[in-house]
Chains A and B, each alone.
Chain A
Amino acid sequence: MMWINLIGLVVIGLIVWWFWLYQTKSTEVRDGSIEVRVKDGVYQPANITVPANESVQLMFYREDATPCAETLLIPELEISETLVLNKRVMVTIPPKKAGRYPFHCQMQMYRGTLVIK
């Protein structure tokens, strides 16, 4: 029984580490634009690094028919965009100061972070 409890605690520890503590890798934007695919429950890439004080374009391409995926929100930049299925939708990120700007769907099931530095 002790082993089972120990395994349980390790699992809990792993959940905390994997979902909260792990530092995810970020994809850097080159040439001022990047394509973000919305497919199978995730944004790909979900973590995007953008240079500070430069305008960049995120080209969202939604292949996921789930209604959740339809709305893209970047609350801190006051951006909300409707992603049309199987269409590219361009979202222009204005030049911004360094910081972390999360983006997500209406229900926060699709999540990503825009890291400006």
Chain B
Amino acid sequence: MNSKTDSAKAHGCCSGGDKTSTANEAVDTKTQTRQVSSEAGEIQLNIQGASCASCVTKIETALKQVAGVTGAEMNFAQRTVLINGNASPSELVGAVEEAGYNATLANADSDEAAIEEKEQADWAYYKKLMRHMVIALSLGVPLMIYGLVTGEMSVNTTTERIVWLIIGLMTLGVMVFSGRHFYVGAWNSFKNHSANMDTLIALGTGTAWLYSMTVVFFPGYVPEMARHVYFEATAMIIGLINLGLALEIKARGKTSEAIKRLIGLQAKTARVIRDGDDIDIPIEDVLLNDLIRVRPGERISVDGVVVEGQTSIDESMLTGEPMPIEKRKDDEVVAGTINKSGSIVFRAERVGKDTALAQIINMVKRAQNSKPPIGRLADVISAYFVPVVMIIAVMSALAWLNFGPAPEVAFAIVSATTVLIIACPCALGLATPMSVMVGVGKAAEAGVLIRNGEALQSASKITTMVLDKTGTITEGAPKVTDVVIASDHNQDDVLSLAASLESGSEHPLAMAIVESAKETGVPIHSVTDFESIAGKGVAATLNSQRLLFGNEKLMKEKSIELHHYVDKAQRLAAEAKTPMYFAIDSKLVAVIAVADPIKSDSIDAINRLQHNGIRVVMLTGDNRMTAKAVARKAGIVDYVAEVMPEDKANKVLELQREGEIVGMTGDGINDAPALAHANVGFAIGTGTDVAIESADITLMRGSLHGLADAIAVSKATLRNIKQNLFGAFIYNVAGIPFAAGVFYPFLGLLLSPVIAGAAMAFSSLTVVTNANRLRLFKAKEH
């Protein structure tokens, strides 16, 4: 359809009506592509043209007839309809249109379109502010120069009164044209019993102008020395504040670069195979289980599983992992990553807002808007700030009137105006959020997802990092290295029986044994009475034989004689292998050792943490010998072996009691309590399986360098926030008394309202600029 020729028309109920309208336009132009819904499988549409209650049934019925829709419920008051099921938005919109109404997706902007729209709106606003600035300064600057050169801004003769009256009216024009938003905003918030920056600007410039006009109209009522006009101050302040706001918009645009980059990773279309043909469709129309073809160089559109072909995929944009990852049948692919070499077909498993990328974007956005506790004081101050400044302005005027030198009135007006103008609640309010915005974005670029401001602040203070061994320090994919026979069974039999027993367990060690059995080609039987003994091992029955597999503790508990095999096991453990005992009917038959190699960069990363003054503690359920061997290899002095899952949390609490700020890193479900108790819980994701909600900080790649990166970026952000807060506090704490004239009796110094206006306008700009410095931050890998 031709979207340009159609326009949105709401039409009466039950009247049929214009079907070539907003609805398809919204979808077809691809500007409105994302449905915002609170739960999986929900789509919300805004309905136009429904004007009577009978439309409700008609629309609901039409929607329920769409394949895949399980429910449709319309809220007539809001003219919205909530649809459950698995159907494409354009089909739903089409169905509503068929019924004779118009529909658009609720909150339907794609992230990208929203950003584009925002940039356009910001640009338009920037230009408007610059226009306002030019108009205001073209009056203010000549007036100020005149005042500086001649020193004559007073009203004594009739001619001077007429000239100043004209200039006063011109200033009023500037106030109306360039400063309207301040006055309207001030008045509106005043009516709401609240006060904001507009209030201060409006009061400051208004006072200066009113006083000047009083001097022009009634010079007789003002002492001769005080017959000074401040039109230049009014015009200059309005011009400078507009300039400051304009520059702030520019600077703010840069703070959201990271999220823009993430949003840019989303593909716009997908090549779906339907009825044997490849067709390009917008990604929001991709349904679960669609087969999607991806050629070399193309972006993966949604999350899924490879069903055909083989390729390597660059996941660096999400995980920070520079090496492309090989993918073949049954491997997962993630939206936003780039297919490098081969052509593949994958089945869509997560679409829309459920893809890992969409969740990451969502999380980064939320985190960017959250505040660390350090910003709370500034919030409390902001809440009382403006009325307090107004009171200070009144008190300062009274002080000048009572105790000031002549002309008291002029001094009182200047000081009150300057106090109102110099006070800047914005710098205070912006100090924390701007840095968080940049810091969280910067972390996301390095593959570190920080959940909120609190996690960011805690991470910057970590003194001890607790690491789980398996899957965190090591690869987490152990392999069988040794099978020591302790009976008359042969090796294949032992492996077959052990694998049969372990096939019911999901423990990494169990999987290594099953994997080894499969590789060797020995049979795996099904067992009965399977029993998992937490932290110790497993047991099951096969052909009326009781099989038992586990650690020394378990064997001792079951009174199984281990003989000299304990020494053998210890020797294996000393080689960083994990020896396990296998017994049949309470008799030891073998010692099976499994080893889990240390990740290639774990040693470096641990070294980096220690170098940064962080104590590293390793926890493992493994035996002492293995733990010791791994710890020694990884350069860790503190380690605790044979830890039961629940003891991990206790260890974290114990460290906290010692006064440590503890970070805990783990990947398994059994680490959950420890992660929750730690000051900061780190989850290690692999890019494809993002456990976003489970931890304070999620590392998108398996490398422990992510920990040091997260801590480094948190520290840099907190430092930046502190600089901003300090700057904003000092600015206000020093600026307001200075403006009130506290230094006048000692130094003879009184601030000009124009300087105050400039200082105020640039104070918030300084905060944003300082936050932008964080963009240059680079985590060093050493």
**A residues near B, CB below 8 A?**
1, 4-5, 8, 11-12, 15-16, 18-20, 22, 24, 31-33, 39-42, 44, 46, 57, 59, 65-68, 70-71, 73, 75, 78, 80, 82, 84-90, 92, 106-111
Tell me the total A-B contact number using a CB cutoff of 8 A: 130
A-B contact pairs, 20 of them (CB 8 A): A18-B193, A19-B194, A22-B193, A40-B184, A41-B181, A59-B78, A66-B125, A67-B248, A73-B369, A80-B369, A84-B118, A85-B121, A90-B106, A90-B107, A106-B429, A107-B425, A108-B383, A108-B425, A109-B198, A111-B194
Closest A-chain residue to B371, C-beta based? A75
Are B125's CB and A109's CB within 8 A?
A: no
Distance in Å: Cβ of A77 to nearest Cβ of chain B: 12
Closest A-chain residue to B180, C-beta based? A40
Chain B residues near A109 (CB, 8 Å)? 196-198, 425-426, 429
Q: How far is the CA of A75 from the CA of B378 in the complex (A)?
A: 14
Residues of chain B in range 450-486 having any CB-CB distance to chain A below 8 Å:
none
Which of B77, B188, B198 sits near A33, CB closer than 8 Å? Answer: B77
Are B395's CB and A8's CB within 8 A?
A: yes
Is B366 in the interface zone, CB < 8 Å from A? Answer: yes
Distance in Å: Cβ of B65 to nearest Cβ of chain A: 26
Are A82's CB and B186's CB within 8 A?
A: no
Is B18 in the interface zone, CB < 8 Å from A? Answer: no
Selected interface stretch from B287-295, B397-405, B591-599: B397-405
Chain B CB within 10 Å — which of A78, A87, A88, A109 has the most?
A109
Chain A interface SS verdict (over half): mixed
Is B185 in the interface zone, CB < 8 Å from A? Answer: yes
Are B398's CB and A15's CB within 8 A?
A: no
Distance in Å: Cβ of B55 to nearest Cβ of chain A: 17
Chain A residues near B676 (CB, 8 Å)? none
Is B157 in the interface zone, CB < 8 Å from A? Answer: no
Q: How far is the CA of A15 from the CA of B193 in the complex (A)?
A: 10
Q: How far is the CA of A82 from the CA of B107 in the complex (A)?
A: 11
Chain A residues near B197 (CB, 8 Å)? 107, 109
Q: How far is the CA of A65 from the CA of B383 in the complex (A)?
A: 22
Chain A residues near B194 (CB, 8 Å)? 19, 42, 46, 111
Chain A residues near B371 (CB, 8 Å)? 75
Chain B residues near A107 (CB, 8 Å)? 197, 382, 425-426, 429-430, 433
Which of B36, B185, B397 sits near A41, CB closer than 8 Å? Answer: B185
> Given known contacts A5-B398, A12-B395, A20-B387, is B248 in contact with A41 (CB within 8 Å)?
no
Are B387's CB and A67's CB within 8 A?
A: no
Which of A22, A33, A41, A90 sits near B189, CB closer than 8 Å? Answer: A41
Chain B residues near A78 (CB, 8 Å)? 370
Q: How far is the CA of A16 from the CA of B392 in the complex (A)?
A: 12
**Known A15-B391, A19-B194, A24-B193; further 10 A-B contacts with Cβ < 8 A:** A31-B77, A40-B185, A41-B181, A41-B189, A42-B192, A67-B248, A85-B118, A90-B106, A106-B429, A108-B379
> Given known contacts A4-B401, A107-B430, is B77 in contact with A46 (CB within 8 Å)?
no
Is B691 in the interface zone, CB < 8 Å from A? Answer: no
Are B122's CB and A67's CB within 8 A?
A: yes
Closest B-chain residue to A24, C-beta based? B193
Are B248's CB and A1's CB within 8 A?
A: no
Chain B residues near A108 (CB, 8 Å)? 379, 382-383, 425, 429
Q: How far is the CA of A89 from the CA of B108 in the complex (A)?
A: 10
Chain A residues near B191 (CB, 8 Å)? 42
Closest A-chain residue to B124, C-beta based? A65
> Given known contacts A1-B401, A19-B195, is B369 in contact with A65 (CB within 8 Å)?
no
Is B224 in the interface zone, CB < 8 Å from A? Answer: no
Is B742 in the interface zone, CB < 8 Å from A? Answer: no
Closest B-chain residue to A59, C-beta based? B78
Are A84's CB and B114's CB within 8 A?
A: yes
Are B121's CB and A65's CB within 8 A?
A: yes
Residues of chain B in range 231-285 having any CB-CB distance to chain A below 8 Å:
245, 248-249, 252
Are B109's CB and A84's CB within 8 A?
A: yes
Are A5's CB and B402's CB within 8 A?
A: yes
Q: How far is the CA of A41 from the CA of B194 in the complex (A)?
A: 10
Chain B CB within 10 Å — which of A8, A16, A67 has the most?
A67
Are A12's CB and B394's CB within 8 A?
A: yes
Is B340 in the interface zone, CB < 8 Å from A? Answer: no
Is B390 in the interface zone, CB < 8 Å from A? Answer: yes
Closest A-chain residue to B199, C-beta based? A41
Distance in Å: Cβ of B426 to nearest Cβ of chain A: 5
Distance in Å: Cβ of B251 to nearest Cβ of chain A: 10
Q: How far is the CA of A106 from the CA of B453 in the complex (A)?
A: 14
Is B159 in the interface zone, CB < 8 Å from A? Answer: no
Chain B residues near A24 (CB, 8 Å)? 192-193
Chain B residues near A1 (CB, 8 Å)? 401-402
Are A4's CB and B184's CB within 8 A?
A: no
Q: How far is the CA of A59 from the CA of B80 in the complex (A)?
A: 12
